[in-house]
A and B are shown apart, each in its own frame.
Chain A
Amino acid sequence: MTDTVLRTESRPAAVAVRPGVRLRQLAMRAVLVLLLALGAVWLVANLVHAPAQFFNSAILGLSNGALYALIALGYTLVYGIIELINFAHGDLFMIGTLCSGLLLTTVLHQTASGGTAWLLFLLTLVATMAFCGGVNVAIEFLAYRRLRRAPRLAPLITAVGMSFVLQQVGLWWNGSTQKSWPSVLPPGGVRIGEVTIDYTFLIVVSVTVPVLLVLTWVVKKTKRGKAMRATAQNQDAARLRGINVNRTISFTFLLGGALAGAAGVMYQQVIGTTRFDLGFQLGLIAFTAAVMGGIGNLTGAVLGGVLIGLVQGFNDGLPFGLGQKWSQTVVFSILILLMVFRPGGLLGRPLAEKV
């Protein structure tokens, strides 16, 4: 496997195969093949009926998916190290969108595309990443660190609490309505026949892919990454080998927060509408993406995010789609089916212990 897995655990001992079990497995497999075939037929029917619309929907879906992937990466990174589902992550992302709006639009007055605007956009990106990284480290230090040896439910509930705290900050900062922001990213896109590839799509992809590669490199190749993987496997053993566990975990939260910040800037500039409860909706989607891909798996998180974006894009945009009313239903139905057939997620490995 080439994908990056932070936590590896032994497979459960193989269960002796009985004839009844084999029959059930066969039936399951048949259902799976049938479902996949139905999906494929549906896609081909749409493709034949309206090819331009098919590719346009795919690109718009992928564009949203790449944003979901950026948020999901932060979720999965933190889970991989301390097995905490950091529910505050979505809300930290929302704080990122507001920080971006404040810096780029309100303070720096950048409302249109242009050379200066792009430079200041990069500055905003760095500043927001630093800000959100700092907030995430502070949250870990204040709230999660002292609960590290507490029963698992305690940090989980604390994360939910932190999510509410951040949401209140967002409510105070943004107000309770949606706010529209101007974008400094170039409008329009590349036209290939009837298919339009927006510049914003290219920019989002050119942020998400390098971020994934750099993260993978950090986790797999650097000394810090080795310390992270060691901490993920066994904190006490890591400590015995001279690893500063607290600092390693802080570093992980810094990375996670920076990812939320980057996602926030991209969202604020690409979508252009902020809301104080954005973190709940997007956090839910990103969490689903992380679970789909196999939680704790970096490549899986990106794959899950892109898949959800694509499913939404197809469902909303294709002529034979169910329409946006059913978007959420379709996404979560696919999640449930996936969990039935592959409980560990797309790239996940079966774990002995489940949350």
Chain B
Amino acid sequence: MRRSSPFRNSTALAGVLATALVLSGCGDGTSGEGGGETLVVGIDLPLQGASKDASEATVNAMRLYLEQRGGKAGRFAIELKVYDDSTAAKGSWDDATCAKNAQDHVGNAREVAVMGTYNSGCAKIEVPVLNQDPSGPLLMISHANTNPGLTKPWDPGEPDKFYPTGQRNFARVITTDDYQGTAAAQFTAKDLKVKRCAVLNDNQTYGQGVAKAFADEARRQGIEILGNDAWDAKQPNYTALFTNLKGRNPDCVYVGGIFDNNGGQIVKDKVRILGDNATVKLIGPDGFTGFPDLDRLAEAQGMYMTFAGQAGEQLRASGGVGGQFLDAYKAKYGADPATNYALYGVQALQVIMAAIEKSDGTRKSVRDQVLGGEGITIPASTSMLGKDVKIEPKTGDVNVRDISVLIMKDNKEAFHKAWPVTVA
């Protein structure tokens, strides 16, 4: 119902694919014969709820990129298949739907890789299932999962518990929350020059992780941390919660979490009880970026947000492939993508297509290209990010560690400055 309408390009794409199929004369993609096989790349995103706009922009961008590449990676024709990991009832990603999608990815014989997911919690459910696929492991590359635990030691048992077979099958083209939280803390200490920060988290995997990273680094930078409290997304408002924080007299509030979890109310009540964002600074992670509802909120103006990558303004300014792609996107869809993640979706697709090109067309082989041998490197001349993008084959992490600071101004997320990060 909801899924078909927003993607204006679907008929054109279907046409391209149909032609490809006819030309190849090969209807059955699983035959394994050389020349003109069609392989599927799954896209796993929350298409309903608050992240809807961001997800649709990502799918649109990936479709445009595939079209620019003629729908082919080497001798293989590529088809994109979209999976929705959200439910209308939850308005965000849903554990049961993620579990079901994982089974569907494994069950779709022509699917050789998955681009996604958007939410780290969802990836943590899907990755072990894809890992145990007998014909795989099935590769997943995320454009947005910033929780460190997926690739490196973080919470107890991580990351090994996601890889029951002992082989890695998850990679990402975005940096992690330990870097993101660290950058936010360094920016807060050095540029905003605040002394006492109250930290809040939404009590979910991602929110707790990024809040902890922020708090740890902020302490090292000499900021006093006035507790790391959870907010309950189901409560009607947070006035009492902020009254409690007010008693501790903060000059900065960090909200680690996603906007979907009643983030609008958090922002409104912060301003109501603690005062505007110029007096008591408000800083959020990338979970608060890409939401038109938040951008329109008067109380959100002046809020700082970090994004674990480069913003569109930076890419356009550097004049590389990424900037040109954004211009093509705007020409085709009439507006810039709703989120900076759209371009990272394309970056993930670039890595997947490079892996498919080098592979023999089987799941195992596609995974082996990325997480075995030398790994995949997309040279700066063609990569969306304008630098060499190398996936570390041992961990699946990317070498690029861009963090941008954005500021909400005139109902828009404007690029404030880049914050190159180093972790002690």
A positions within 8 Å CB-CB of B:
50, 53, 56-57, 60-61, 63-64, 67, 171, 175-180, 267, 271-273, 275-278, 281-282, 312-319, 321, 323-325, 327-328
Contacts and interface: CB of A to CB of B under 8 A. Distances in A.
Interface stretch (B258-266, B323-331, B332-340, B353-361): B258-266
A223 to B, nearest CB: 38
Given A50-B247, A317-B243, A318-B244, 13 more contacts: A53-B243, A53-B247, A60-B243, A63-B239, A178-B265, A180-B296, A271-B237, A272-B265, A272-B268, A273-B264, A276-B91, A312-B240, A317-B240
A324 B241 contact: yes
A60 B236 contact: no
Contacts of B377: none
A60 B89 contact: no
Contact of A324 (B90, B235, B268, B297): B235
Nearest to A277: B89
A67 B48 CA distance: 30
B3 to A, nearest CB: 14
Given A273-B265, A281-B234, A319-B247, A176 B91 contact: yes
Contacts of B262: 178, 273
Given A171-B89, A177-B91, A178-B262, A53 B244 contact: yes
B88 A317 contact: no
A169 B164 CA distance: 43
Contacts of B203: 325
B378 interface: no
Given A53-B246, A176-B89, A180-B268, A64 B293 contact: no
A292 B236 CA distance: 20
B234 to A, nearest CB: 5
B48 A176 contact: yes
A243 to B, nearest CB: 39
Nearest to A282: B236
B240 A325 contact: no
Interface stretch (B175-183, B225-233, B365-373): B225-233
Given A50-B247, A323-B229, A324-B230, A178 B240 contact: no
Nearest to B300: A180
A8 B91 CA distance: 45
Interface string B262-275: 10110010000000
B83 interface: no
A312 B260 CA distance: 23
B262 to A, nearest CB: 6
Contacts of A317: 239-241, 243-244
A282 B230 CA distance: 20
Nearest to A167: B89
A63 B246 CA distance: 19
A222 to B, nearest CB: 34
13 contacts: A57-B243, A57-B244, A60-B239, A176-B49, A177-B50, A180-B265, A180-B296, A273-B237, A278-B236, A313-B240, A316-B241, A325-B229, A325-B230
A175 B86 CA distance: 13
Interface in B61-92: 88-91
Interface string B190-223: 0000000000000100000000000000000000
A53 B246 CA distance: 8
Interface residues of B, number: 33
Interface in B87-130: 88-91
B238 interface: yes
Contacts of A267: 236
A57 B240 contact: yes
A349 B90 CA distance: 40
A60 B238 CA distance: 9
A63 B237 CA distance: 11
A5 B315 CA distance: 69
Residue among A57, A61, A276, A282 having the largest count of chain B Cβ atoms under 10 Å: A57
A57 B235 CA distance: 15
A179 B89 contact: no
A314 B237 CA distance: 14
Nearest to A188: B272
Nearest to A61: B240
A56 B236 contact: no
Contacts of A281: 234, 236
Contacts of B243: 53, 56-57, 60, 316-317
Contacts of A315: 240
A324 B89 contact: no
Contacts of B244: 53, 57, 316-319, 321, 323
Contacts of A67: 236
Contacts of A313: 240
Contacts of A321: 244
B48 A179 contact: no
A180 B264 contact: yes
A179 to B, nearest CB: 7
Nearest to B244: A317
A327 B232 contact: yes
Contact of B235 (A56, A175, A276, A327): A327
B264 A178 contact: yes
Q: What are the 4 tightest A-B residue pairs by CB atom distance, in nearest-first order?
A: A176-B91, A317-B240, A316-B240, A325-B230
Given A61-B240, A324-B229, A325-B203, A177 B293 contact: yes
B424 to A, nearest CB: 30
Nearest to A315: B240
Contacts of A50: 247
Contacts of B293: 177-180
A139 B293 CA distance: 34
A56 B247 CA distance: 10
Residue among B89, B232, B296 having the largest count of chain A Cβ atoms under 10 Å: B232
Contacts of B48: 176
A277 B87 CA distance: 13
B390 to A, nearest CB: 37
Nearest to B232: A324
Contacts of A316: 238, 240-241, 243-244
B64 to A, nearest CB: 26
Nearest to B264: A180
B266 to A, nearest CB: 10
A177 B265 CA distance: 12
A80 B241 CA distance: 35
A181 B242 CA distance: 20
A34 B182 CA distance: 47
Contacts of A64: 236-237
A43 to B, nearest CB: 15
